[in-house]
Amino acid sequence: MQIEATPLNGCYIIHDTVFKDERGYFTESFNQQRFAALIGQEVQFVQDNQSASTKGVLRGLHFQKGEFAQAKLVRVLQGSVLDVAVDIRKHSPTFGQHVAVELSDTNHKQLFIPRGFAHGFVVLSNTAVFFYKCDAYYNKQSEGGLMYNDAALGINWQLPHEQLILSDKDQNNPTLAQLLQQGNTF
């Protein structure tokens, strides 16, 4: 397991060590001690989630507020996605900036997203199975969203707009400027 810092403070790409032979491959996808040593902090994951989606499905950009804010460790078990994290910590020097990383079942990358970030992904392959660990339990009253195509963010989702499939909720999230006005940043 190796770590790669992103331009966003506290957000890291994790490269798994993969052992391959004629039978296939083996990788240790998570080790609490090694993970804590790599990122320089203790994170206690309490909930695992998994989703399956088809090409063009865009889930996000989501976050949890207040005491239910979540750090996430995300990976793809099957297929390929473009994974995006947006810094919504209003006092951060990288506020409003994002990082986009392709995660796939062949590159074995993971992305650690600290609390105070909005997160989303779009499926690039025909199907994808997405897996993530959270350090706080989901709470419906604490959920928030950020508009995926906010011009202020400038995210290139790598697929034409007409190919994107979004929930009604994700099509109506506020922009970053509206989040600031509502006081829904960290």
Segment (H or E) for 120: strand 117-123
Among residues 62, 98, 119, 148, which one is catalytic? 62
Query: With contact defined as beta carbons under 8 Å apart, do 138 and 40 qualify?
Result: no
Identify any residues that bridge with 20 across adjacent strands, giving them in sequence order.
25
What does the alpha-carbon distance between residue 115 and residue 19 come to, in Å, rounded to a whole number? 32
Would you call 62 a catalytic residue per the annotation? yes
CB 156 within 8 A of CB 107: no
* Catalytic position from the list 98, 119, 132, 148: 132
**Could you list the active site residues?**
62, 132
